[in-house]
Amino acid sequence: MAWIPCVVGRLNFSKVNTEQLPFTPSSPQEQPICFSYVDEHSIPSSVYKTSHNVVSSVFNWKDRADSEEQSRGIFRIITIGSTDKNLNMVGKAHIILNDDIKALTDFTTEILAPLMNLEKSVKKYQTAISENQYDPSYKLENHDVSGDIENIKNKIQEYSQNQLKGGIITVEYSIQKNGLVFLNPTVRIGIDDQPKYEKLVEHSNFIAIKQCFIFLKSSLHT
């Protein structure tokens, strides 16, 4: 459990950013991805509308001296979540070594590129909405966004079971509108279920949960 400060008493999940996670990209595949989408061009109604949040960036999480470079700290975290009818955000964070991503060309083309394209579409849509909310020049439907996100989530799942088996730490999270956060790491088949790795897994999961929370807090709270 953790808490994201929200001085007005409620988090605004549409306000996402990567400004507090500075990193200088060395290639296009290291660019941050950040967007929040909700259908705003339909006729106003009391029907609940889901908000989709995707925030991802590369960051050096190594927080201690390492003169001999015995450990690697540069990871990409991908958080994908959506709000429920109680206005809480539910999703998953995927923590992946940046070197592992660099070694897999298909990861960029099948996961990062589609996320970047979706980010461009959302920004184009939001610009059109600001000019004409109910009849924008460019419309982006909820079923299209949720469909694209679901495909990407399935691809990440495939990588966690095949090319990056044991190399993706996934943390399930639930963020209540009052800022309370609940985090739980999922089991990595072949590693977390091996008794000989119990202490190592316990330690790495604890670190992963802390990093995940810091990432979520940094992207939602200014």
Please name the amino acid found at residue 173.
Answer: Y
DSSP string, 182-201: EEEEPP-TTTTT-GGGHHHH
Walk across the sheet containing 180-185 and list its strands. 2-3, 180-185, 168-175, 89-97, 74-83, 52-60, 33-37
What is the per-residue pLDDT across 122-165, written as a single tens digit (0 to 9) for each? 999 999 999 998 899 999 999 999 999 999 999 999 999 999 98
Q: What is the residue whose two structure tokens read 């909700």?
A: 38
Altogether, the residues listed in the chain come to a count of: 222
What is the per-residue pLDDT across 196-212, written as a single tens digit (0 to 9) for each? 878 888 888 899 999 99
Q: Is 31 inside any structural domain? A: yes
Q: Is 154 inside any structural domain? A: yes
What is the per-residue pLDDT across 166-222, written as a single tens digit (0 to 9) for each? 889 999 999 999 999 999 998 776 677 778 878 888 888 899 999 999 999 999 986
Question: What's the rounded Cα separation, in Å, for the pair 48 and 29?
Answer: 35
Q: Is 44 inside any structural domain? A: no
Phi/psi at 33 (nearest 5 deg)? Answer: -130, 130
pTM higher than 0.75, yes or no? yes
pLDDT at 139: 93
What is the per-residue pLDDT across 48-77, written as a single tens digit (0 to 9) for each? 888 999 999 999 988 777 777 777 789 999
Structural domain total, the chain = 1
Q: Count CB neighbours of 171 within 10 A.
A: 23
Question: 50 in the Ramachandran plot: left (φ > 0), alpha (ψ -120 to 50) or beta?
Answer: beta
What is the per-residue pLDDT across 109-131, written as a single tens digit (0 to 9) for each? 999 999 999 999 999 999 999 99
Question: What's the rounded Cα separation, in Å, for the pair 184 and 135?
Answer: 42
**Strand 89-97 relative to strand 74-83: parallel, antiparallel, unpaired?**
antiparallel
Q: Is 213 inside any structural domain? A: yes
Helix (H) or strand (E) holding 17: none
pLDDT at 71: 73
Q: Is 43 inside any structural domain? A: no
Helix (H, G, I), strand (E, B) or coil at 35: strand
Structural domain including 206 reads 2-38+49-62+72-86+96-220
Q: Is 91 inside any structural domain? A: no
Question: What's the rounded Cα separation, in Å, for the pair 145 and 122?
Answer: 9
Q: Is 67 inside any structural domain? A: no
Whether residue 76 contacts residue 57, with contact meaning beta carbons closer than 8 Å, is answered with: yes
Q: Is 137 inside any structural domain? A: yes
Question: What's the rounded Cα separation, in Å, for the pair 14 and 71?
Answer: 35
Quote the Cα angle for 35-220-209, to 5°: 105
